[in-house]
Amino acid sequence: MIVFDMDGVLVDVHSSWGWVHDRFEVDNEDSLKAYKRGEIDDLEFIRRDIDLWRSVDHRISKKDIIDILEEAPLMNGFDECFPGLEQRYDTAIISGGLKPLAKHIGEPYFDRIMANDIEEKNGRLTGQGVLEVRLKDKGEAFEKLLSEMDVEEEECVAVGNSWVDSPMIERAGLGIAFNPADEKIREGADLVIEEKDLSLLLDHV
């Protein structure tokens, strides 16, 4: 099995949440700091992000968000990796990013997609989120995935770009730091790919 992070790996954006924030010209710096300090949990972090969008347009729908996300650029080399890679591996995405984007880019190629979502009712966002991947504990999602797919850690390749991906990278049989954003991910990886080019993975998997 090969497991990918999404933001900064499969798409060339630092954060899918941030991609939407930029479109609405809002900033989640305060809630990000509160989250990092442990003052709020993942669901509250998601709620605050959604509330930023709703503060700009209280009628905003999930389709509005999907339309924005579908403009996010794929990472260079994506089309060389997929289709093809999924014919040799079971494939999965584990991301703290937005599931609508993961489904948009991944449904043709990935067997399993784990990411976080947003709730809608009567054509408008409710302000609530759906938590599937805790940002600070991707290891939990990784172990759940392996159990569901009946795959051992040593049979798995994991690809990520930041410290939040370290629990996957360190446990996988082959952990790949792709265009690493920090030293922690470098230190835990078996292999480092510096360039923003997913096709370079094909030399190693």
Rounded CA gap, 88 and 109, in Å?
Answer: 11
Whose CA is closest to 75, among 126, 139, 7?
7
| pLDDT score for 65 | 97
Burial of 93 (0-12, 13-18, 19+ CB in 10 A): buried
Tell me the whole-structure pTM to 2 decimals: 0.93
| pLDDT score for 135 | 86
Mean pLDDT by 10 residues, the chain (205 residues): 97 96 94 92 95 94 96 96 86 96 93 96 95 91 93 95 94 96 93 95 90
- Cβ of 186: how many Cβ atoms within 10 Å? 15
Rounded CA gap, 158 and 89, in Å?
Answer: 12
Please state, for a pLDDT cut of 90, what percent of the chain lies above it: 90
Q: Mind listing the pLDDT tens digit for each residue in 10-30?
A: 999 999 999 999 999 999 999
Q: Mind listing the pLDDT tens digit for each residue in 52-89?
A: 999 999 999 999 999 999 999 999 999 999 888 888 89
* Paired sense of beta strands 112-121 and 124-130, if any: antiparallel
Sorted by where each starts, the structural domains of the chain and their CATH numbers stand as 2-203 (3.40.50.1000)
